[in-house]
Amino acid sequence: MRLSRRGLLRAGLAGTAATALGGLASGCAVPTGSTGRNMVLWYWDGGLGETVVRQARTRFDNAVDLRAVKIGGYYRSKLITTLAGRAHIPDIAGLKGEDMASYLPDADQFVDLRTLGADRLKSGYLPWKWQAGIAEDGRMVGFPIDCGPVAHYYQYAVFRKAGLPYEPADVSAELNTWEKFFTAGEQLKKRLPGTYLLTDITSVFEMSVNQGTERFVDRDRHFIGDGEHVRAAWDRAVEAKRRRIVSNLVSGTPDQWSAVEDGTLPSQLNASWATNDIKNGVPRTKGRWRVAGCPGGPSNIGGSFLSITRACREPERAFEIITWVLGAANQAQGFVDAGLFPSTPASYGMRKLREPDPFFGGQITMDVFGPAARRIPVAYASPYDMALGQPVKDEIKSVGVLGKNPGQAWKDAMSKCRRIAQHLGVSV
């Protein structure tokens, strides 16, 4: 054959095409999930304890190659895209607590953990947390990782100086209602001018909603954000503003951190994981902090789950790994590694969790978080909560930050919610 330029070109193209097709074909051969030997686990930075993940890899080494992959960025959108694309789906996938409500309607994307015998482990986990991983039709999608019981973080010396209760037990007992908490805020401000109890009123609103058993949309896809429970939370937030116990700072900004550091924002209502944020954000306040029970009762923020996707070829093995990683002993390790608050009450008594914490003046913080975690109310989280809660949160923010008239703001929030509800097919 004469080697012409055209011939070469043709041969080259054919070669390229063959390679491309071959690549596609081999890519298609193992697109979804495991081959039995490989097992891929998706989680995010701080989503699981590193020690536990490492130990799991060696422990199950003779059965599977556990590849634990940390996914950065917007985790949920990446997982959804992968699931929708039906290729390279992880066998085990972490699901973030705040996204859980949006996964549950698509429970068929995951293996029902009941079929793998999850029910026999149920008694070892917090009931409300267990419930949160179950879809409406009873299928169990998520196995509990951690939770985020809310506590009242405060600076001991500042409270003492303001003539407020300052020992954790006294603060828990005497500031147990919102009313008493707000009164304390007024006293704090009077005795120490320029000092505010809370950063903004948004936290009061959200915390109050979290303390209830209802949110914005109920099981029957009906909008209940105009109900008494939301209205009460709203009024409470407005009252915090009226009584001038909140600062004009934006939470998460350098301004707020410096106010926290110099003691002019000596108190915050936050989840257990905020311990790490405070330790990293204002390390110089070491020893000044204590934790007490949250006014108005316990609530929860965050906390995630592990799931087994439909693409997994060895669900039994995956379930074995999950239950080992999330057993009581390893959850205690997760708390030490990454501050993941266990969803297994059996961990609360373990020595690892009962270490006095010098950052909190030697307090054993588990004495506050442990009992709070057990008493968190079960609330139904609807996939529409995000869309229909946001307008209310936006308006309460306008009241707090821009000084918008509360009555007008409520009216605006409700009319916006009604419009969005109609659009989403949620009855009003």
Partner 1 sequence: MATALEKPPATAERSAAARPRTGLRRHWHLYAAISPFYLLFLAFGLVPVGFSLYLSLHRWDGLGPMEWAGLTQYRYLLTDIDFWSSIGNTIVIWALATFPMIFLAMVTAVLLNSAVRFKNVYRFAYFLPNVTSVVAVAIIFGSVFSTNFGLVNALLQAVGLDQVAWLNTPWGIKVAIATLMTWQWTGYNAIIFLAGLQTIPGELYEAARIDGAGPVQTFFRITLPLMRPMLLFVLVVSTVTGLQSFSEPQVLLQNTANESTYSGGPGHAGRTMVLYFFQQTFDNNDFGYGAAVAWGIFLVVVIFSIINWRLVQRRGE
Shortest separation between residue 122's beta carbon and partner 1, angstroms: 26
d(CA 157, CA 13): 77
Strand pairing of 143-144 and 341-342? unpaired
Q: Quick one: which of 402, 394, 393, 389 has its CA closest to 241? A: 402
Paired tokens of 235: 């009024």
Q: Quick one: which of 324, 309, 423, 251 has its CA closest to 48? A: 324
Choosing from 260, 301, 311, 417, the residue that interacts with partner 1 (CB under 8 A) is 301
Query: Does 302 participate in binding partner 1 (rule CB under 8 A)?
Result: yes
d(CA 188, CA 183): 9
Shortest separation between residue 272's beta carbon and partner 1, angstroms: 13
Query: Does 80 participate in binding partner 1 (rule CB under 8 A)?
Result: yes
Query: Does 11 participate in binding partner 1 (rule CB under 8 A)?
Result: no
CA distances (Å), 253 to each of 26, 47, 192, 193, 266, in order?
49, 24, 23, 22, 16
Query: Does 78 participate in binding partner 1 (rule CB under 8 A)?
Result: no
Size of the site for partner 1 (CB under 8 A): 44
| Pair 288, 260: CB distance under 8 Å | no
SS3 363: strand
Query: Does 397 participate in binding partner 1 (rule CB under 8 A)?
Result: yes
DSSP 106-134: GGGGB--GGGGTGGGGGGGS-HHHHHHTB
Query: Does 219 participate in binding partner 1 (rule CB under 8 A)?
Result: no
- In this complex, which beta carbon is closest to partner 1, that of residue 43 or of residue 60? 43
Please list every residue from 251 through 290 that binds partner 1, using CB under 8 A. 251-255, 258-259
Paired tokens of 262: 């110099």
Query: Does 67 participate in binding partner 1 (rule CB under 8 A)?
Result: no
- In this complex, which beta carbon is closest to partner 1, that of residue 84 or of residue 378? 84
CA distances (Å), 86 to each of 16, 81, 89, 311, in order?
26, 9, 7, 8
Shortest separation between residue 248's beta carbon and partner 1, angstroms: 6
Shortest separation between residue 350's beta carbon and partner 1, angstroms: 27
Query: Does 377 participate in binding partner 1 (rule CB under 8 A)?
Result: no
CA distances (Å), 36 to each of 33, 59, 143, 348, 416, in order?
9, 16, 22, 36, 50
Query: Does 22 participate in binding partner 1 (rule CB under 8 A)?
Result: no
- In this complex, which beta carbon is closest to partner 1, that of residue 304 or of residue 323? 304
Tokens 């690892």 found at: 352
> Which stretch in 53-61, 307-315, 364-372, 384-392 sits in contact with partner 1 by CB under 8 A?
384-392
> Count of residues for the chain?
428
Query: Does 307 participate in binding partner 1 (rule CB under 8 A)?
Result: no
- In this complex, which beta carbon is closest to partner 1, that of residue 168 or of residue 298? 298
> Which stretch in 49-57, 103-111, 173-181, 313-321 sits in contact with partner 1 by CB under 8 A?
103-111
Query: Does 364 participate in binding partner 1 (rule CB under 8 A)?
Result: no
| Pair 217, 204: CB distance under 8 Å | no
Choosing from 32, 172, 202, 307, the residue that interacts with partner 1 (CB under 8 A) is 202
| Pair 136, 103: CB distance under 8 Å | no
> Phi first, then psi: what are they for 306, rounded to 5°?
-110, 145
Query: Does 381 participate in binding partner 1 (rule CB under 8 A)?
Result: no
SS3 293: strand
> Which stretch in 77-85, 220-228, 283-291, 351-359 sits in contact with partner 1 by CB under 8 A?
77-85
d(CA 181, CA 188): 10
- In this complex, which beta carbon is closest to partner 1, that of residue 101 or of residue 171? 101
Q: At what angle do helices 50-59 and 315-325 cross, to 10 degrees?
A: 140
Query: Does 402 participate in binding partner 1 (rule CB under 8 A)?
Result: yes
Residues in contact with partner 1 by the rule CB under 8 A: 6, 9-10, 13, 74, 76-77, 80, 83-84, 98, 102-103, 105-106, 109, 202, 206, 248-255, 258-259, 301-302, 383, 386-387, 390, 393-394, 397-398, 401-402, 416, 423-425
